[in-house]
Structure 1
Amino acid sequence: MAIKTVGIIGAGQMGGGIAHVCALAGYTVLLHDADAERLEKGIATINGNMARQVASGKLEDTQRSEAMKKILPAKAMEDLAGVDLAIEAATEDEDIKRKIFASLCPILNPEAILATNTSSISITRLAATTDRPERFMGIHFMNPVPLMKLVELVRGIATEEVTFKEAQAFVQSLDKTITVAEDFPAFIVNRILLPMINEAIYTLYEGVGSVDSIDTAMRLGANHPMGPLQLADFIGLDTCLSIMQVLYDGLSDSKYRPCPLLVKYVEAGWLGRKAGRGFYDYRGDEPVPTR
């Protein structure tokens, strides 16, 4: 089956980024969000991000204009009925994802591929809640999607080979590099990355170093492009906590226990850049460490 039309559920940072790269690759994109205001804002953000690519010489303005014409707002879930591939890009919450699939499956073309952009949750378990486990895939894009070259492809136990091949061809058409991960908690990237971030938070929690000293140490001592606490703020501390909880629950190993300080920040609503505060305070001209 040739994929021509892509439906994306969730117009936040990830969903918008996926819509961005799909439209530039020539796909017709139907972008849906339960919140009409977030949908409108998401499309405006995509246009702004493409405009920055034009300003930096990475894109022609005609390419931006043509791509934006391909991104259509889908105000109702029913508008996705005719898509060839539907990608769920909602928040990292299994209950929310299950509800989306319950609403989406009855209206989708029976041959359509259903994919999730989950960064940690079992593909097999999510697939089992749908009417098409054999046509279900994990297609995990990295954030920010337009800049990051990698996509993790994850098969559930029931995923058919033809589904995998179609998903593989689709991702390659976006000029992305594929890594294939087995269906274990957090897959490859987050299985390695999030415990490192969690350990950095423990290092802060135990008073080994300040926010600034920890991030400086990893930038200059390990040559990381950004420090782990800055990266946690960029990812979103709620997402970091969700992934660590999936690892802890799924692998039953104490080394994956979420740091209590991470839990406290999430409880306070200090979720990182998107909330204005996390390990840094972003409300002024320059980010300032909060500890």
Structure 2
Amino acid sequence: MIAVVIGGGTMGAGIAHLLLAGGHEVVVAEHGASRVAAARRAVEKSLAVAAGRGKLDRDPDELLRGLTLVEHLADVPAELVIEAVPEDAELKRRVLGNAARACPDAVLASNTSSLSISELAEGLPAERVIGMHFFNPVPVRELVELVHHDRLDPAVLAKTRAWAEQLGKTVIEVRDSPGFATSRLGVAVGMEAIRLLAEGVASAEDIDTGMRLGYGWPMGPLRLTDLVGLDVRLAIAEHLAAELGPRFEPPALLRAKVAAGELGRKTGRGFFAW
């Protein structure tokens, strides 16, 4: 299969790694030569780390021969397109529209973690637009959340599920709704953990340890927020608050950290120092 990944950041590079390791040819589209170069480095690093941990069956250099990077997507005979651009509905809609023209037979998948798939599909061939929500780090996390809507062709859902399972993922299917299942639950816990910290109920370390050892979470909600990115979590929480009400209203502490540039692991500081 030829697959296209639009966006070569953390999620896009991880998705590209996953597809390459699954034996597929991958085209990564990014905007501008510097971002194209950065995307290549990110995929190379991801594969090298996996190889160093004994998690790859093939040599990274061999896998990289299946990778093409482009600045402009045009006339690619792809079966699957996955957009992994920032959580901006208009941007995602524009990217998917370009992909629909460049790859007229492809399934059009959005890696959004909270935006309405039905709304993203407006003005597009909605029958082949699906939510395909991966989790960071993509090569490691077992789950893929597939989001279906009323106009989706059931054959597209079945095909996308088969692809995800072939990549070694466990699939859950969720009806299109704000935050789907995982983001809605994850953000609810994350916002409450931030409130606990702001109120001085416990330290960040103790809140996370409580959830790890008391509830079996592999990672506490505050460290997870650092990994996802505080700015990303803020955008999702604002979207959910607008759609579902004040129980998802972002705490002032989260807004303050984002304003201060403390975005988590990617900046070296969030709720923890990295």
Aligned-partner Cα distance in 2 for 1:206–1:40: 44
In the alignment, what sits opposite 1:286?
none
Separation of aligned partners in 2, 1:77 and 1:244: 32
Q: Work out the CA distance in 1 between the residues paired with 2:209 and 2:32.
A: 39
2:263 to 265, 271, 279: 271
Q: Which residue of 2 aligns with 1:254?
A: 246
TM-score (norm 2): 0.94
Q: 1:76 to 1:218 in 2, by over 3 A?
A: same
Deviation for aligned residue 1:262: 1.0
Q: 1:127 aligns with which of 117, 121, 124?
A: 121
State the distance in 2 between where 1:145 and 1:243 align.
19
Matches within 5 A, 1:181-220: 181-220=174-213
Aligned to 1:72: 68
Aligned residues: 274
**Displacement after TM superposition at 1:121 (Å):** 0.6
Which residue is 2:273 aligned to?
A: 281
* Contact 1:24–1:63 (Cα < 8 Å) also in 2: no
* Structure 1 equivalent of residue 38 of structure 2: 41
Q: Which residue of 1 aligns with 2:7?
A: 10
Match of 1:94 among 81, 86, 89: 89
- CA deviations on 1:114-162 (whole Å, 9 max, x unpaired) are 11000111111101142x1011111111111100111011112210111
Q: Structure 1: which amino acid aligns with 2:273?
A: D
Instruction: Say if 2:134 and 2:145, in contact at 8 Å, map to a contact too.
Output: yes
Alignment RMSD (CA, Å)? 1.7
How far, CA to CA, are the matches of 1:139 and 1:199 in structure 2? 27
Unaligned runs of 5+ in 2: none
Counterparts of 2:55 and 2:80, CA distance in 1:
27
> How far 1:10 moved relative to its partner?
0.5
Counterpart of 1:26 (choices 23, 33, 43) is: 23
State the SS of the aligned residue for 2:256.
Answer: helix
Percent identity, aligned pairs only, is: 37
2:152 to 127, 146, 159: 159
- Supply the distance in 1 between the matched residues of 2:159 and 2:97 (Cα, whole angstroms): 23
Q: What secondary structure sits across from 2:44 in the alignment?
A: helix
Greater CA drift, 135-144 or 216-225: 216-225
Contact 2:14/2:46, CA 8 A, preserved across alignment? no
Distance (whole Å) between structure 2 residues aligned to residue 153 and residue 263 of structure 1: 30
- In 2, the alpha carbon distance for the partners of 1:186 and 1:36 equals 33
Aligned to 1:55: 52
Any unmatched runs of 5+ in structure 1?
283-291
Deviation at 1:30, TM superposition (A): 0.2
Residues 1:50 and 1:106: Cα distance change in structure 2 (over 3 Å): closer
- Specify whether residues 203 and 169 from structure 1 end up closer, same or farther in structure 2 by C-alpha distance, changes over 3 A only: same
1:108 deviates by 2.5
Give deviations 1:63-86, integer Å, cap 9, x for gaps. 4232211111122122x6332211
Structure 2 counterpart of 1:170: 163
How far the C-alpha of 1:17 sits from its partner, in A, is: 0.7
Structure 1 residue 95: deviation in Å?
A: 2.2
Q: Output the amino acid matched with 1:232.
A: T
Superposition misfits of 4+ residues, deviation over 6 angstroms: none
Between the aligned partners of 1:223 and 1:278, the Cα distance in structure 2 is: 23
